[in-house]
Structure 1
């Protein structure tokens, strides 16, 4: 291998030697290996996992090892990470060698042209969420070639066409073919479950789909930052009902993110700059041959081949004779070559036969009501939506009465459903579970319900959106909309109550991941419950179940970082809770509101403390130990915020008395965290540190990863209190690396913001600015994140902008800005006082007072601008 030259260095990989202007440069072995790997790929983003595989040979090494080695390498090269000449860091992704390299040969392994896998060795799977096992796509070879050609010339393609024409299926096939072309994966964004979404909801959905969390989705610019540097293809499916908020968002992302490629399916174009259109026509129809001869072969008979293939899937060995081929050709023309209509037709052949099916479609007494448009006049003159509706009417008419009943009732589900859920919601009272199973199985076999399997997990089921809309119409026509939605609410209430019973004793991560697939169903049930509860003739049980569902879902909203959304549901149902006669239901609401509104602007600390006190008193009367335990914990936390020392001590004593002998680290973590914090409040920092360390270790041993991160927040404070700022930052950074990898940054906002403030105080300006990209979108939405204002003040100080620092600090301390209470021993108060002393030492007390007066009414937005300084 020839040496690689990047002035003034020469890298001789074959002899493991690096020289600078002829003089040897000593590098540790790992640093040399990292340099060799990067220098062979100039300009290419090398992911952290790729480096771990290439240099360490495995992935059981933390990302911190890479950072340490890259720091050693930069020190040897004399490289500045803020203005890199050789190695650029791509935040949260990897590294790129940015210098020109001479003497470069083709890099081995992954730099070579892709080769088919040989033997047992296979390339690691690319990221993404495309479904698998969809079967062969028939009759779309030309369209796939067109999409491939368009994709090489444009980054935004919209596939338009009528419902049922196969836009989604074509897009998935085209996207699957491009997996190897996008280093950061191919992702499917399904918009069908969204109802009247805002731009914020769309941004959050994109962020959760690609990044696994909604971090950075509060504004277009935040989402751009979150996706910056990624090379990915986003398949945006079923966009027609959200064009108003979606089109400007995609236009902005397309303009700002050169690595983002978009493949959209919609019934109409987006009409934004850079959009390339592919209008998808129905499948080619067989030729009308004289004498009823069979259709021609090739792409022009694509609809015929699709229909035969689908029948063969249901009738193995199906081999149509000449008469049947003519009838099948006739069917293709009657159904306009629409793939969905052909799928539905094939499902009926086992029952009706090919000739019988044609007779049904052409019989006047049946087609007049359902398929009249498919049998009259030129096929090109038929409105495709009405054609699809006619096809669905026909398919629905061929279902048995029980199958129709189950089909229409499935329309209430959003985001899919399980068999168990269908058996509760779609069944009649007293109907055996196997009956729904049989009907559901029949609907899957007839392509009216889709089975969505993910690995070894039990399958979930769903309706294509056009089918769900059709089923909903049938539900309304049958007068069953209210009763079915009522059962859906009851099912959701039972499902989330069962989950809530395990919330205290089960680790957060597996608990919340198991519940995430039901998020859309939770929203749908709460929405219907809130609307129905406002009716004059509402049943008392509907109100009760709506409130019970809200209470049962409270831990979920909090744990997945959606407290603000949960808090809005609290506001929507607040009047119902106030009027409810059951004190236990009122206590559930108070605990829910105190939990969800604690970190949001939806309630003050005093209001939430009053709610928590009322809930704790009611639970004590009812003997509900678990809920009283949670309420008393909130009482202690909120009493600390409002400086109610007596109430805090009472809550602490009651909390300790509620602990049960059989409880483990998960159940006792709340009272043990308070034991640690009480030690800190009385000035016993060693006890604070020891108790926090012990609790983190116990939670990690219990497999409670998220809970250990939360407690790391206390451990970080303890280390800082004892003067170990460097160790505090290292602990916080290690936890944040894990949190980012899990896509749960938003749910750990308090840790992120406090770590950012500590980093700013320590003078790490570059690190602070990088952290603020993730943290600043949380400011104003969560009150615990106000410490970011201190981070901004310290940033301005360390960058030599003392007047800006003084104004931002004054705004943080201003009584005009709602905030929590910070005792004299807290990090927040100590660091604020330390900065104030430095400012007075440089500017003088009079100037600081003048700047503080000028900061009255400053506002968070202006404080952020001042803290960040000139653009």
Structure 2
């Protein structure tokens, strides 16, 4: 019986919080353009609704793709981090590829993906280069971009987004005629949300039409105006717009008229703020991306804004739609639209006035990182892991400030070093960590203890990526500097990294010497976290050297040390290595328990390297205990959860040997076809499903369906969840007929056929007709008791 396709994450499109008004023609045109072009760029003035239109278009077409991803670039200022930002949004780490772009290419290969790149204008060249590279390498990729100008690469289709339709001047409108215009409809809907019961009447109709005309149908301008109905009538709104437009008519004549109109409206909203609201709003423009109340209080209070007033002022700005409220993992955060942020930033004044909040922002981020580093080795670990992931755009901005400000690079380097344990490593941000460390070390070349530690960290990140050529010189320089400084802790850290590198390449005798040296120093000096890492790595090396008794004692000591401090992440890593040791000793029950506990401990960190190793280890154990199907599924699951993030669990040479040995044994026992089928079933498991199966939280899904003496014939397929008519349509889809051909064959309307297919996709949990065809074929094969059912269909 074919295994049911697991549900898979297919992207990150946000749900609509307000109604979507109009744009039917534009949506149809975007669908058409994406069918003939692989890159479509929506261009237009700021505030015209490019982002909202792109999101709606992407949502309407999600069934045509395996995955639809939104990447918001508005908070990014460094052109070199476009690929890194896309990879981070998609959850793709970069351990196994030389660059984030290469990792993305490998992950995207073979699947239909729609990538929405939002707010590209300030990164135009970088986005163009990135898009061009991906499109050339991944044939099934489509990109929908939003920008104030086209990206300017071959094959791009540019679609200019006009403002919403509004009535022409001096055209008489009676009855409900104004509601035929999208601009008027948008104002009416947003106004009703502000003033319950608001609707067009003979008394306000002309004023509403005039207001929408004067705002040129720009959605952002209309929405900001609607908010003012809290305090003003529509007639008063029109009068105030007269004054504000007049005062800006002397602006740049080279700017587009609608840009001047939008600027006038934002300036008008700004002038209506109280002095404290203006000050706070302008200072908040220092924040890239979303931010929390704590950051506003730390960075923006003082000099005209009392700390105790910040909450009320933020609430007032939310009411005026100058801030957006969002929830991230249960935490309320705020975001400023980029158009508004740019306006607010210009109100900060000269360079000195802008530098002050930027410095306070950097100092706030530094304090946050210092707290995270201090509390990382303990029960608060999971909370700090999640918090720093939320603050990633802010950490980047703080590091960039340190690079660009005279005499601040050393502070930035210290911040980057502090991020090593709680951010770069558990997130698998090996390339980004190296990027910042390299830049900051070039800017701060002084032979300090911070630089020596940065060199060793940089080397470790390179070792994790398998880049030994770059890692060895870095580690050598770090050790030499530590010797010159006569810093005992740094010398021990260099020994720790050297020991891990030796363990990685299989030189366990050398590794044991270095790791024991490091463990002794860290234990004596009270550096518990580094002592723990040294001890469990030493345990693993001792085991490979044949001293199983010592290895067991060291693993138990390490485990007790981690548990006594309430630590989770490193504990999950050492449990995984302890499981491998027990498996090699033949204690399969203990090995299974340890591997499963590793998964439980590390579940909240999304550390795919550690999760993948535990799943891989369970595969080796199951092969050793006579469960070949379960073993193959675990090997597939390990590969799948790592491959989707662009990392590998097999970064240690000996682990690759164990994998190859296990896979060879399974092929010999099961046969290539049965092994491949079980492996693929494991690869299709989502992360949650793979964890659930590994932990025994749900019944393992069916075997390979292969007929052989050990496993017997495949099971009969379960009854179809479809109606008889839907079964007919599914059969015709499997035969390759189009919707039109199916309608003709069954003598039903094409719209009826499309409705049936939508219902079928929902019932089966699929998102494409191709899946239905594969599902039908698989059921037929299982029903005939053929020599093997195909793997479950990819949830497209």
Q: What residue is the counterpart of 2:387 in the other structure? A: 514
- 1:732-743 pair list within 5 angstroms: none
Matched-pair contact (CA < 8 Å) for 2:118–2:146: yes
Compared CA separation, residues 346 and 274, structure 1 to 2 (3 A): same
**Is 1:562 matched up with 2:429?**
yes
Aligned equivalents of 2:173 and 2:560: distance in 1? Answer: 78
Alpha-carbon shift at residue 514 of structure 1 (Å): 2.4
Q: What residue is the counterpart of 1:848 in the other structure? A: none
**Is 1:134 matched up with 2:12?**
no
Aligned equivalents of 2:178 and 2:566: distance in 1? Answer: 58
Q: What residue is the counterpart of 1:226 in the other structure? A: 107
Compared CA separation, residues 678 and 609, structure 1 to 2 (3 A): farther
- 1:677-696 pair list within 5 angstroms: 677=540, 679-680=542-543, 683-689=546-552, 691-692=554-555
- 1:530-549 pair list within 5 angstroms: 530-532=403-405, 535=406, 545-549=411-415
- 1:762-773 pair list within 5 angstroms: none
Q: What residue is the counterpart of 1:863 in the other structure? A: none
Q: What residue is the counterpart of 2:705 in the other structure? A: none
Q: What residue is the counterpart of 1:75 in the other structure? A: none
Alpha-carbon shift at residue 766 of structure 1 (Å): 14
2:536 equivalent among 657, 669, 673: 673
Matched-pair contact (CA < 8 Å) for 1:529–1:546: yes
Aligned equivalents of 2:483 and 2:502: distance in 1? Answer: 10
Q: What residue is the counterpart of 2:202 in the other structure? A: 322
Q: What residue is the counterpart of 1:707 in the other structure? A: 570
1:485 equivalent among 351, 354, 358: 358
Alpha-carbon shift at residue 369 of structure 1 (Å): 3.1
- 1:406-425 pair list within 5 angstroms: 406-425=280-299
Compared CA separation, residues 672 and 233, structure 1 to 2 (3 A): same
Matched-pair contact (CA < 8 Å) for 1:779–1:788: no
1:186 equivalent among 63, 68, 78: 68
Alpha-carbon shift at residue 481 of structure 1 (Å): 0.5
CA-to-aligned-CA distance 1:718-740 (integer Å, 9 cap, x gap): 46876999999999999799999
Aligned equivalents of 1:146 and 1:780: distance in 2? Answer: 38
Alpha-carbon shift at residue 521 of structure 1 (Å): 0.6
1:240 equivalent among 99, 121, 139: 121
Matched-pair contact (CA < 8 Å) for 1:558–1:596: no
**Is 1:159 matched up with 2:29?**
no
Aligned equivalents of 1:399 and 1:719: distance in 2? Answer: 67
Q: What residue is the counterpart of 2:674 in the other structure? A: none
1:169 equivalent among 52, 56, 66: 52
Matched-pair contact (CA < 8 Å) for 1:680–1:688: yes
Aligned equivalents of 1:332 and 1:699: distance in 2? Answer: 63
Compared CA separation, residues 646 and 791, structure 1 to 2 (3 A): closer
Q: What residue is the counterpart of 1:367 in the other structure? A: 245
**Is 1:279 matched up with 2:145?**
no
Superposition CA RMSD, Å: 5.2
1:163 match: secondary structure: coil
- 1:302-381 pair list within 5 angstroms: 302-319=182-199, 321-363=201-243, 366-370=244-248
Aligned equivalents of 1:453 and 1:284: distance in 2? Answer: 33
**Is 1:453 matched up with 2:327?**
yes
Q: Single out whichever of 260-269 and 209-218 deviates more from structure 2.
A: 209-218
Matched-pair contact (CA < 8 Å) for 1:757–1:787: no
1:480 match: secondary structure: helix
**Is 1:473 matched up with 2:355?**
no
2:51 match: secondary structure: helix
Aligned equivalents of 1:362 and 1:162: distance in 2? Answer: 22
**Is 1:594 matched up with 2:456?**
yes
Alpha-carbon shift at residue 516 of structure 1 (Å): 0.5
Aligned residues: 642
Alpha-carbon shift at residue 141 of structure 1 (Å): 3.3
Matched-pair contact (CA < 8 Å) for 2:104–2:646: no
Alpha-carbon shift at residue 528 of structure 1 (Å): 0.6
Matched-pair contact (CA < 8 Å) for 2:116–2:143: yes
- 1:248-267 pair list within 5 angstroms: 248-254=129-135, 257=138, 260-267=141-148
Relative contact order, higher structure (CA 8 A, sep 6+): 2
Aligned equivalents of 2:260 and 2:305: distance in 1? Answer: 35
Compared CA separation, residues 430 and 271, structure 1 to 2 (3 A): closer
Q: TM-score, normalised by structure 2?
A: 0.66
- 1:1-80 pair list within 5 angstroms: 35=1, 37=2, 47-49=5-7
2:479 equivalent among 600, 609, 621: 609
Aligned equivalents of 2:147 and 2:67: distance in 1? Answer: 22
Aligned equivalents of 1:424 and 1:288: distance in 2? Answer: 49
Matched-pair contact (CA < 8 Å) for 1:214–1:746: no
Aligned equivalents of 2:580 and 2:121: distance in 1? Answer: 50
Matched-pair contact (CA < 8 Å) for 1:564–1:597: no
Matched-pair contact (CA < 8 Å) for 1:163–1:385: yes
2:348 match: secondary structure: helix
Alpha-carbon shift at residue 489 of structure 1 (Å): 1.1
Matched-pair contact (CA < 8 Å) for 2:39–2:156: yes
Alpha-carbon shift at residue 136 of structure 1 (Å): 0.3
- 1:832-847 pair list within 5 angstroms: none
1:467 match: secondary structure: helix
Matched-pair contact (CA < 8 Å) for 1:757–1:788: no
**Is 1:494 matched up with 2:364?**
no
Alpha-carbon shift at residue 522 of structure 1 (Å): 0.6
Compared CA separation, residues 614 and 791, structure 1 to 2 (3 A): farther
CA-to-aligned-CA distance 1:471-492 (integer Å, 9 cap, x gap): 2222244852011111111111
**Is 1:385 matched up with 2:259?**
yes
Matched-pair contact (CA < 8 Å) for 1:361–1:371: no
Q: Single out whichever of 517-526 and 569-578 deviates more from structure 2.
A: 569-578
2:79 match: secondary structure: coil
Matched-pair contact (CA < 8 Å) for 1:294–1:329: no
1:262 match: secondary structure: strand
Alpha-carbon shift at residue 501 of structure 1 (Å): 1.3
Alpha-carbon shift at residue 793 of structure 1 (Å): 12
1:236 match: secondary structure: strand
CA-to-aligned-CA distance 1:357-376 (integer Å, 9 cap, x gap): 2222223xx433336689x9
1:417 match: secondary structure: coil
Q: What residue is the counterpart of 2:685 in the other structure? A: none
CA-to-aligned-CA distance 1:809-856 (integer Å, 9 cap, x gap): xxxxxxxxxxxxxxxxxxxxxxxxxxxxxxxxxxxxxxxxxxxxxxxx
Aligned equivalents of 1:529 and 1:223: distance in 2? Answer: 29
Structure 2: stretches of 5+ with no match in the other structure: 463-469, 622-630, 666-796
Aligned equivalents of 2:599 and 2:551: distance in 1? Answer: 22
Matched-pair contact (CA < 8 Å) for 1:496–1:549: yes
- 1:388-399 pair list within 5 angstroms: 388-399=262-273
Aligned equivalents of 1:564 and 1:185: distance in 2? Answer: 24
Compared CA separation, residues 431 and 667, structure 1 to 2 (3 A): farther
Compared CA separation, residues 527 and 399, structure 1 to 2 (3 A): same
- 1:104-115 pair list within 5 angstroms: none
Compared CA separation, residues 295 and 407, structure 1 to 2 (3 A): farther
Alpha-carbon shift at residue 148 of structure 1 (Å): 4.5
Alpha-carbon shift at residue 461 of structure 1 (Å): 1.1
Alpha-carbon shift at residue 562 of structure 1 (Å): 2.5
Alpha-carbon shift at residue 285 of structure 1 (Å): 0.8
CA-to-aligned-CA distance 1:436-468 (integer Å, 9 cap, x gap): 22222222222221112235x121111222222
Alpha-carbon shift at residue 789 of structure 1 (Å): 11
**Is 1:550 matched up with 2:416?**
yes
